[in-house]
Structure 1
Amino acid sequence: MPELQLLSLDHAPALLVFEEENRAYFAASIPDRGDDYFARFDERLRALLAEQEAGICYFHVLVDPAGAVLGRVNLVDVADGAADLGYRIAERAAGQGLATSAVREVCRRAVDPYGLTALRAAATLDNAASRAVLARTGFTVTGETRLSGRPGLTYLRRLRP
């Protein structure tokens, strides 16, 4: 059973493999990270961990028993009791309910220990799987948006302590 873990420097090698192996798969439904992300991966990871240490963001990885990263679930731009949720699941692990269970777990952690009261999210209209995860985990549509030029929806989930 995969385990959701708070991102640490120890995850770096497996996280890079996850991002490289799934780059084309992710780019089909969400904006691509770009070549610079991979060229400066170590530097970028250290910056993310500094943000996490400061309480600005909480980055999670979904790790299988062998240590491979199967997904990411992140809370970013933490302020005023709210944060933005983002997630991605490896192509080989898609369709197994991992995104739904990981998002549910992050929603629990958002309340305790992170002390948040609301989460925001967005998904492109052509990303039906992501929109289904948001619906199953209690997010409601709040409006329309564009994500890298693609039409999408914004979502909100109020959290109970």
Structure 2
Amino acid sequence: MEERDAPKVGECSFIGRQAVGGKPAHTESKEDKGTGLESTPRLQLLMPDLQLLRLDHAPALLAFERENRAYFAASIPDRGDEFFAEFDTRLAQLLEWQAAGADYLHLLVTERGEVVGRVNLVEVADGSAELGYRIARKAAGLGLATAAVRKVRELAVTKYGLTRLRARVTLDNPASRKVLEHNGFVAVDELTLNGKPAMSYICELR
């Protein structure tokens, strides 16, 4: 999104390791992964604060994943019941990876402390990382994905010392592809992601 929780089946990188046209703003990654969705209210908000994942984010992060589970699963593989049943254990593992510098996991947090998005840099090695992101349904279409990816792209250079970012997105998610392209990502190769035609992207930071 957007970590390393979901099975590795080729990933599209707002989700951890998981991108907007009428489709959810999320790409897919290994971190992570009749519903009444149409009744979900749209959120009106200023740009939320981008924060590195912390242990005290747990309740808000779990609420974000539960509230948006069906929304995300409409376009990317569902995380599965196990993800929610073992959430505390998985969160602890993510924090370990982050402390080791293997991942940098960011949350979009509103003034009320609500999580409305995730933007992750995962599999950090040799100056490169994979980008993943996901935005809450009620916050989609407000430009948050593009702005958040831009901020994380800046942090990748100024704070994490990276020189290249990678991402993957299915071709049926044109909005997520636009998020990447607006942030300097260039399509480099075709692939199959979760059984769908997809494209891999690269962003050279220096």
2-side partners of 1:97 and 1:50: how far apart?
31
What TM-score, normalized to structure 1? 0.97
More deviation, 67-76/28-37 = 28-37
In structure 1, stretches of 5+ residues that fail to align are none
Amino acid at match of 1:96: L
Residues 117-136 of structure 1 mapped to structure 2, 5 A cutoff: 117-136=163-182
Percent sequence identity is: 64
Q: Write the deviation string for residues 21-78 of structure 1: whole angstroms up to 9, x where unpaired.
A: 1011111122221111111111000000000000000000000110000000000000
Divergent runs of 4+, >6 A = none
1:58 is the counterpart of 2:96: no
In structure 2, stretches of 5+ residues that fail to align are 1-45
Aligned-residue offset at 1:127: 1.2
Relative to its length, the structure with more strand (as a share) is: 1
Residues 91-106 of structure 1 mapped to structure 2, 5 A cutoff: 91-106=137-152
2-side partners of 1:24 and 1:147: how far apart?
19
Q: Write the deviation string for residues 60-101 of structure 1: whole angstroms up to 9, x where unpaired.
A: 000011000000000000001000000000000000000000
- Residue pair 1:31, 1:147 contacting (<8 A) in 2 also: no
* Partner SS for 2:203: strand
2-side partners of 1:150 and 1:74: how far apart?
22
1:20 is the counterpart of 2:66: yes
- Residue pair 1:124, 1:151 contacting (<8 A) in 2 also: yes
Aligned-residue offset at 1:145: 1.6
* Partner SS for 2:124: strand
| CA root-mean-square deviation | 0.8
Relative to its length, the structure with more helix (as a share) is: 1
* Partner SS for 2:56: helix
* Partner SS for 1:65: coil
Residues 70-89 of structure 1 mapped to structure 2, 5 A cutoff: 70-89=116-135
1-side partners of 2:115 and 2:205: how far apart?
27
2-side partners of 1:65 and 1:80: how far apart?
36
Amino acid at match of 1:155: Y
Higher relative contact order (CA 8 A, sep 6+): 2
